[in-house]
Chains A and B, each alone.
Chain A
Amino acid sequence: MPRFLISRLIQSLLVLLAVSFAVYGLIGLMPGDPIDLMLAADPRLSSADAARLRALRGLDAPLIERYLAWLGNAVRGDFGYSRLYARPVVAVLPDALASTARLMAAALCLSLLIGLPLGILAAMKPNSPRDHLINLTAFAGISIPPFWLALVLILVFAVFLGVLPAGGPGVSGGLAFMVLPVAALTLAGIGGHVRYMRASMREVLRQDFVRAARAKGLTERRVVFGHALRNALLPVTTIVGLEFGTLFSGALITETVFAYPGMGRLIYDAVMGNDYNLALVALLLATAATLLGNLLADLAYLGLDRRIRLGGDAR
């Protein structure tokens, strides 16, 4: 177990390092560099000045050298300044992280609270009208374009009914600003949870120990909630673990449409606004959160299912 944990942590760190190099290289391929931006801001600068500035800032050095310099600073906790916010990158992130965590946690809890019971209900009576209705709703949930769902919610509740704000400062502006983003994310999340729960429960209900429990004369309710549920929740835990990463990486589209000040929108703004330092760190944070979610999912599975032994040679 500790060996598994250590090897997975090292693996995740390697992926993170590879991603940081790839993203660093990609950012260099985006239109415009910091000196281009300075040139655009000051027409008196000549191209000789630009070349001098590039040399001064080390921007003419080979990619690998620049990357190693960045990495050296990053390891010491220096991630540079954010161009958009005119503050150190590390000072910009905590607010966005807190906003995103609140938004995503609320949406995740709600969609689990609604989705899992619906999935169980559907699985208990396969092929009934109830099952088909729930299943179709779940399909609708996973098929709806997230930005369009957000637009429709704005259209109904902000434009037609005028009862909720169309977007704004998040929780600092009052809970009303949270309602529509949370609703959009919850509606989009329910579908997946219903489908996983339903599939997993149906799988378990086919197994022999369930047949034995039924033969013993237990009520269907006791069979499902007393015997099957624990086992059926196993694969679902994995999914929730994977979604744990989104608590910190945020929901890029929903946050952008609702102008919600979270990590997703921060990444979008940073990439679009040529804020390279911020974009790089925010992306790495999102990647680290996703990798951590994957690791947690595996650990949860390991902890819950005694049949699995993960070791160095598990595969």
Chain B
Amino acid sequence: MTGYRSSAAALAGGVVLTGLALAALLAPAIEVALGLDGETVDLFNRFAAPSADHPLGTDELGRDLLARLLNGGRVSLAVGLAAALAAAGIGTVIGLIAGMRGGWVDAALMRLTDGVIALPLLPLLIVLAAVDPVKLGLPGAWAGEPWVELLRIVVLVALFGWTTVARLVRARALALRDQEFVIAARALGVGPLDLVGRHVLPNLLSQVIVATTLSVGNVILLESVLSFLGLGIQPPTPSWGNMLTNAQELVWQSPALALWPGGLIFLTVIAFNVLGDGLQDRLDPRAQWR
């Protein structure tokens, strides 16, 4: 709808994201190439200014900031994408069931969606994040395992993040259900799973992709907030959010520690939002008017 400029902005967002994703994927190689080490603590070299050894300086424990930013980006982007995809998956299933079945199933699922949307997200996430996995019955040996930590955040965020996609998919499914090609398919004896998989899902997939793109930014924000508050990714595994946890007390000594991780979160989220907005304009049927 906003035409050329919007596509240009979306393109810029896509380029930025590709760059960030490449940097995250190649993080180990970049570390080796530049001779960086984001894990070794070097207390004689705390808060070092940028130099040839440490292109962006070091943090409060003398660890290389650039290496930690690269690895943190790996974690933040992976968690963001995984949680957004998980939420989209849940939302698509719930939306499809509600839209295709109708009746009391639809009513119940939509009341559930309304209920989840009406909850104060952040306070409840904090309570959920504070839950002790051992008391939940999970093996104690899992505590502190990095992959369990990542999975925990993905599950937490997906638990609340599915509502937008569910509403969208339901609305589209309701509209598609009564279209002639779907009625024809049903009349030909196509089973319910085939009907959804072959005829309904492909026709609403593009909307789901747009909504997911728009939600990745929000998910990354949520992860960073939880990690910042000490309830998300646990150190020493770096994420852009938990790198900012200590930055607040250290803001007087080393502003760079606060500026870099937050700036990268900001850049990533705005890139996802602009890209999603551009895609949405492309899909908007009214876009062809102008």
Interface residue? B224 (CB, 8 A): yes
Binds A, one of B87-95, B201-209, B261-269: B261-269
Secondary structure type dominating chain A contacts: helix
CB proximity of A190 to chain B, nearest CB, Å: 15
Contact yes or no, A31 B132, CB < 8 A? yes
Contact residue among B3, B120, B127, B230 (Cβ-Cβ distance under 8 Å from A245): B120
Interface residue? A85 (CB, 8 A): no
CB proximity of B238 to chain A, nearest CB, Å: 16
User: Residues 6-50 of chain A: 1 if any B CB is under 8 Å from the residue's CB, otherwise 0?
Assistant: 000001100100110001001111110000000000000000000
A253 and B230 CA atoms in complex are apart in Å by 12
Contact yes or no, B130 A148, CB < 8 A? no
A287 and B74 CA atoms in complex are apart in Å by 34
Contact yes or no, B252 A287, CB < 8 A? no
Residues from 105 to 163 in A contacting B, C-beta threshold 8 Å? 126-127, 131-132, 135-136, 139-140, 142-148, 151-152, 154-155, 159
Contact count band on B? 35 or more
Contact yes or no, B262 A23, CB < 8 A? no
Interface residue? B279 (CB, 8 A): no
Interface residue? A301 (CB, 8 A): no
B3, B119, B127: most-surrounded residue (chain A CB, <10 A): B127
A184 and B250 CA atoms in complex are apart in Å by 20
A28 and B274 CA atoms in complex are apart in Å by 42
Contact yes or no, A147 B3, CB < 8 A? no
Interface residue? A256 (CB, 8 A): yes
CB proximity of B255 to chain A, nearest CB, Å: 5
A253 and B120 CA atoms in complex are apart in Å by 13
Contact yes or no, A145 B123, CB < 8 A? no
User: Residues 96-135 of chain B: 1 if any A CB is under 8 Å from the residue's CB, otherwise 0?
Assistant: 0000000000010011000100111011101110111001
Contact yes or no, A253 B244, CB < 8 A? no
CB proximity of B130 to chain A, nearest CB, Å: 5
Contact yes or no, B119 A126, CB < 8 A? no
Q: Residue of B at shortest CB range from A14? A: B115
Residues from 247 to 279 in A contacting B, C-beta threshold 8 Å? 249, 252-253, 256-257, 264, 267-268, 271-272, 279
Contact yes or no, A139 B132, CB < 8 A? no
Interface residue? A200 (CB, 8 A): no
Interface residue? A291 (CB, 8 A): yes
Contact yes or no, A290 B119, CB < 8 A? yes
Interface residue? A286 (CB, 8 A): yes
Contact yes or no, A143 B2, CB < 8 A? no
User: Residues 51-62 of chain A: 1 if any B CB is under 8 Å from the residue's CB, otherwise 0?
Assistant: 000000000000
| 11 A–B contacts from the bound complex (CB under 8 Å) | A26-B131, A28-B135, A29-B135, A30-B135, A132-B5, A139-B270, A139-B277, A145-B228, A147-B224, A159-B251, A289-B120
Residue numbers of A with Cβ under 8 A of B are: 11-12, 15, 18-19, 23, 26-31, 126-127, 131-132, 135-136, 139-140, 142-148, 151-152, 154-155, 159, 206, 245, 249, 252-253, 256-257, 264, 267-268, 271-272, 279, 282-283, 286-287, 289-291, 294, 315
Besides A30-B132, A147-B262, 15 new A-B residue pairs in contact (Cβ under 8 A), listed by A number: A23-B124, A30-B135, A31-B132, A132-B2, A139-B277, A145-B224, A145-B262, A145-B265, A145-B266, A151-B248, A151-B251, A159-B255, A252-B122, A287-B119, A287-B124
Residue numbers of B with Cβ under 8 A of A are: 2-3, 5, 9, 107, 110-111, 115, 118-120, 122-124, 126-128, 130-132, 135-136, 217, 221, 224-225, 228-230, 244, 247-248, 251-252, 255, 258-259, 261-263, 265-266, 269-270, 273-274, 277, 286
